[in-house]
Structure 1
Amino acid sequence: MARPFTDPRSAHQKIAAGLRRQITRGDLRPGSQLPSTPALMEEYGVAGTTVQKALQMLKEEHLVVGQPGKGVFVQGGTQRSISPEVYMPPTRDGQPYRWISEAEKRSQRGSVTLLEVEPVTPPYEVRQALGLADNGQALLRKQILLLDDEPTELARSYYPLDLVEGTAMVERRKIKGGTPTLLASLGYPPVSFIDEVSSEIPTEEEVVALELPRDMPVMMTFRIVHAKDKRPIEVSLLTKAAHKYRVRYAIRLT
């Protein structure tokens, strides 16, 4: 038998969590009206101020919106599934970066803001994945990926210096077709990748970059991309808002 445990969160946080789950999993659809404040007070046995605090959390997360004189309505929708393998192959015939072309298929506008390009000493786990010494350096390309002008992912990608020196990757500019296309042109097309996905408390950089509401965890993906002979050609730390996205993996077992 499980040992006794009581949810330590405040009442308004628990109410917001319950409503949030109904929104992100599709039980409350975009445009549908939430129960009135009196109805929520009765359902949860709390005061009106507690209900208002819960609704304010959801408003800050852009999941609901208040309409004066009418009520509170669902604004956000279910979590969007992202399939990582879709974005990995190099593009062909001068096609745009796959983040942009895949967004177009969903009638969205994908864009990228390049924040930083410079040689750095990467974090410990990145150095380990790239086989670098403690003071070893790699090229960092940091960018924000947006959908319809909304920041969606903070991507910090590291590349072996000996692989990218003298190429367009070391310049502070976007790469036509994305870095997989450029790496392929160098003779190092990505052939496999490993993802480790975790839920973490965001850093200040991540909160600012992704415009996150209070007390919202992030989904962190630690990705190692290999070329042939299992050579690591990219290691990325990819951060998304945990309440908006989920990762979909389709794995063939036979």
Structure 2
Amino acid sequence: MTKEPPRFADQLLARLTDPDLEDHLAPGEKLPSTKELAKEYGVAAQTVFRTVARFKAMGYLEGQQGRGVFVRKIVPLEFPVDRFEHNSGRDAPDTDHGSWKAIVEAQGRAPSQDTQRASVEPAPADIRAHLGMEEHTHVVLIRQVRRVDGVPFQIADSAFPARIALDSPLMWEEDVSAQDGILAELGHPVRRKVVKMTAWPPMTPTEKRRLDVPEDAMVPVLRQVRICYDRDDMPVSVLATVAPGHLNSFVYEMKA
């Protein structure tokens, strides 16, 4: 069986991210022209153009007026998981310590989040498992993309049992908060949290679209799932974060 040759997007991505390659393109270095890349890799100029456009959207490359396209210096976000999980999310108490905005701004960068969209849907299998729900039960899903300097850095999707969240402030599109958290006001104060981290499975096509990742690019991914439990030890929320590995550095700080 003939092995399929590497795709152009994968080859170019490797040159941008792997400093051990002989033809590595370092930050600040100018990208070869479309014509040169097309000839070197034996692909159509349109393929080069589309791939370069996608890598610009992802933050790997940047165009400079009258000069060409250059490799952008990628600075991963240091994401202090312990501080963020202590006080953050859709149900966070009324303070921004440890919030996405505070974390990003503390590193001298500009945070933003796409307008959230809340919907009531049958719970997907993984959410049902996390929340201990039966098949055909519904959840309130809130989908959001977090950005740094305008670039998508993370997907942050929350899920709440519909019996708790339906028609509550948790469904409002604007940012909301309460002194002790919205779930506490709804009668389900959070008493403990469980955080699970994985690097599998790879990004789905939908996740790639939401994060402006080329469909044929192989990008490492960090997945974090946070499950919150109320005073009766019942799971009441799930926050699923999908973070491209080259853009995020997850940091835990623990007392000695």
The match for 1:16 among 2, 12, 34 is 12
Rounded to whole Å, the distance in 2 between the matches of 1:201 and 1:224 is 19
- Calculate the TM-score normalised by the size of structure 1: 0.70
Aligned match for 2:237, one of 234, 237, 241: 234
Report the alpha carbon displacement of residue 111 of structure 1 after superposing the two structures with TM. Answer: 2.0
1:88 to 46, 62, 85: 85
Aligned AA (1:236): L
Matching residue's letter, 1:101: A
In 2, Cα distance between the equivalents of 1:151 and 1:11?
A: 24
Letter in 1 for 2:5: R
- Quick one: structure 1 residues 6 and 106, their matched pair in 2 at CA, closer, same or farther if it must change by over 3 Å? farther
* RMSD (CA atoms): 4.1
Structure 2 SS opposite 1:248? strand
Query: Residues 100 and 184 (structure 1 numbering): CA distance in 2 closer, same or farther, change over 3 Å?
Result: farther
Instruction: Give the distance between the partners of 1:157 and 1:67, measured in 2 at CA.
Output: 38
* Counterpart-to-counterpart distance in 1, 2:168 and 2:242: 26
Deviation at 1:118, TM superposition (A): 2.8
* 1:109-157 CA-partner distances (Å, limit 9, x unpaired): 2122233213221111111221111111122112222222323223221
**Residue 60 (structure 1) aligns with:** 54
Deviations 1:168-210 (A, max 9, x none): 11333322379x9433565215533223332424324x34432
Provide the rounded CA distance (Å) in 1 between the counterparts of 2:41 and 2:65.
17
The SS at the match of 1:145 is: strand
The answer to whether the aligner puts 1:120 opposite 2:127 as a matched pair is no
Verify the 8 A CA contact 1:98 1:177 in the aligned structure 2.
Answer: no
Describe the SS at the equivalent of 1:88: helix
TM-score, with length taken from structure 2: 0.70
* Aligned equivalent of 1:136: 137
1:183 maps to a residue whose letter is L
Task: Flag the 1:125–1:231 CA change in 2: closer, same or farther, 3 A.
Answer: same
User: Whole-Å Cα distance in 2 between the matches of residues 94 and 14 of structure 1?
Assistant: 42
Q: Is the contact between residue 80 and residue 253 of structure 2 (CA under 8 Å) also seen in structure 1?
A: no
- Cα distance in 2 between the residues matched to 1:251 and 1:94: 21
Q: Would the aligned equivalents of 1:79 and 1:245 in 2 still touch at CA under 8 Å?
A: yes
Sequence identity, in percent? 16
Query: What's the CA shift string for 1:29-87, capped at 9, x where partnerless?
Result: 532446x68xx99xxxx953549767973553122346688675321425444343332
Change (3 A) 1:66 1:183: same
The whole-number CA distance in structure 2 between the counterparts of 1:60 and 1:50 is: 19
Gaps of 5+ in 2: none
Q: Which residue of 2 aligns with 1:191?
A: 193
1:30 maps to which of 27, 37, 60: 27
Q: Does 1:48 align with 2:56?
A: no
